Amino acid sequence: MKYPGGVKRTGVKKIEYAHRGMALEDSINLSNRYYLEQNIAVIYKKPTPIQIVKVDYPSRNKAVIKEAFFTVPSTLDYNGLYKGKYLDFDAKECKNKTLFPLSNIHEHQIKHIRRVLHHKGIAFLIVSFTLLEEIYLLFGEDLLEYIDHMQAKSIPIDYFRKKGHRIEVKYIPRIDYLKIIDKYMEGGYRE
Amino acid sequence: MKYPGGVKRTGVKKIEYAHRGMALEDSINLSNRYYLEQNIAVIYKKPTPIQIVKVDYPSRNKAVIKEAFFTVPSTLDYNGLYKGKYLDFDAKECKNKTLFPLSNIHEHQIKHIRRVLHHKGIAFLIVSFTLLEEIYLLFGEDLLEYIDHMQAKSIPIDYFRKKGHRIEVKYIPRIDYLKIIDKYMEGGYRE
């Protein structure tokens, strides 16, 4: 069915539904590509860290990795540059409806967040509570405040609702987290 | 032979010689580790980008990559944070005594350097002319100035000697490039 202006509304709806189930990481990668192409920011996901054991060279210019292992990352998955500032963050999906298990973040990633804040970078997590369809950006300062003061193995969702910054999924960019970074940079992020 | 104070001088000399031939990348990695441990900066080499084709799971918690390919990087190898500033750079060894072939840098890496400068990051190359034992840091601005004004496929070493910043290899950190970044940040890097 066609509507005036040639817009196929059923098609638009279909896209919308299809995107709703999109993995958080894919949505963020698309958003980063948008930021890059629109000349807004330069943010990349780091390649997956691996340890290569065996490489074959079937021809002169071709190398095939034949054995490798995934290794534990020391940093967060994403980093980059926005308005002269260094950003460093990770994206996590959480299937639990009431809490975010801290086992999702490695000990050295916490250490990395401390270092980034110490050197005046901006560090944060983007956590998607997939079953609730709620996505929050939680700044490193608020994450550390919780970790350092509570002897807990998880962060309750209420902490995200109170201290985090809700991100509504849009069409483009899907996860517009730089809007929240803008506020942070203006100093108004704790409003 | 032992000297007063228990210092074995021949041993010290040996270490020095052994290190002289160390690959540039290893020297930079060691320097970055020093910067990290001394709480000076947070700079990492990005993992090698690969495309994974096949993964085996011989047991529940173990994954072995059985087929993967190296892919062309879109960015530079290193990035990080120093005194609130975003750094982005690459390290290149050059066996030629008179020039640095621009085929060493991919077209999209040049584009990436332009973007980093546009968003107020600091971008540079560290080039080691291995046969001359001369190492230079060349800022992105000076690299682009050459590329944009000369229709050349290489940069002569004289350009590095004139516009670059010589790095003398030290014992620790081996490649103390942050000293040059300090000058750059003070605005005096073109002296």
Chain B nearest C-alpha distance from A104 (Å): 16
Half-sphere exposure of A183 (CA within 13 A, CB side): 13
Chain B residues with CB under 8 Å of A66 CB are 66-67
Look at A46 and B42 and tell me if their CB atoms are within 8 Å: no
Q: Is the pLDDT of residue A13 over 70?
A: no
Cβ atoms of B128 and B167 closer than 8 Å: no
Mean pLDDT, all residues of chain A: 88
Look at B75 and A44 and tell me if their CB atoms are within 8 Å: yes
pLDDT band at A21 (very low <50, low <70, confident <90, very high): low
Amino acid present at A85: K
Q: What is the pLDDT of residues A92-104, one digit of tens each?
A: 999 999 999 999 9
Chain B nearest C-alpha distance from A49 (Å): 5
Report percent pLDDT > 70 for chain A: 87
Average pLDDT score over residue span B156-160: 97
Cβ atoms of B118 and B173 closer than 8 Å: no
Average pLDDT score over residue span B155-167: 97
Q: Is the pLDDT of residue B123 over 90?
A: yes
Look at B47 and A44 and tell me if their CB atoms are within 8 Å: no
Q: Is the pLDDT of residue B87 over 70?
A: yes
Return d(Cα B23, Cα A128) in angstroms, integer: 43
pLDDT band at B189 (very low <50, low <70, confident <90, very high): low
Average pLDDT score over residue span B38-66: 91
pLDDT band at B21 (very low <50, low <70, confident <90, very high): low
The better pLDDT of the pair B114, B20 is held by B114
Look at B83 and A120 and tell me if their CB atoms are within 8 Å: yes
Q: Is the pLDDT of residue A112 over 90?
A: yes
Q: What is the pLDDT of residue B72?
A: 87
Chain B nearest C-alpha distance from A48 (Å): 7
Q: Is the pLDDT of residue A14 over 60?
A: no
Q: Is the pLDDT of residue A19 over 60?
A: no
End-to-end CA distance of chain A: 46
Return d(Cα B100, Cα B95) in angstroms, integer: 9
Q: What is the pLDDT of residue A61?
A: 75
Chain A nearest C-alpha distance from B66 (Å): 5
Mean pLDDT, all residues of chain B: 88
Pick from B44, B50, B75: which is nearest to A50 by CB? B50
Cβ neighbours of B80 (radius 10 Å)? 25
Chain B nearest C-alpha distance from A34 (Å): 14
Determine which of A96-110, A145-159, B10-24, B42-56 has the lowest per-residue pLDDT on average. B10-24
Chain A nearest C-alpha distance from B14 (Å): 31
Whether chain B has a CB inside 8 Å of the CB on A79: the answer is yes
Whether chain A has a CB inside 8 Å of the CB on B45: the answer is no
Average pLDDT score over residue span A27-48: 96
Return d(Cα B22, Cα B90) in angstroms, integer: 17
Average pLDDT score over residue span A10-35: 71
Average pLDDT score over residue span B138-143: 98
Q: Is the pLDDT of residue B11 over 80?
A: no
Q: Is the pLDDT of residue B1 over 70?
A: no
Q: What is the pLDDT of residue A131?
A: 95
Q: What is the pLDDT of residue A148?
A: 94
Chain A residues with CB under 8 Å of B68 CB are 50, 64-65, 68
Whether chain A has a CB inside 8 Å of the CB on B122: the answer is no
Angle between helix A107-118 and A140-149 (nearest 10): 120
Average pLDDT score over residue span B37-57: 94
Comparing CA positions, the residue from A177, A173, A182 lying closest to residue A33 is A173
Look at A47 and B44 and tell me if their CB atoms are within 8 Å: no
For an interface test with A, give the residue of B32, B42, B45 to mutate (most A CBs within 10 A). B42
Average pLDDT score over residue span A16-42: 85
Whether chain B has a CB inside 8 Å of the CB on A189: the answer is no
Look at A39 and B69 and tell me if their CB atoms are within 8 Å: no
Whether chain A has a CB inside 8 Å of the CB on B188: the answer is no
pLDDT band at A191 (very low <50, low <70, confident <90, very high): very low
Whether chain A has a CB inside 8 Å of the CB on B41: the answer is yes
Q: What is the pLDDT of residues B101-118, one digit of tens each?
A: 999 999 999 999 999 999
Burial of A19 (0-12, 13-18, 19+ CB in 10 A): middle
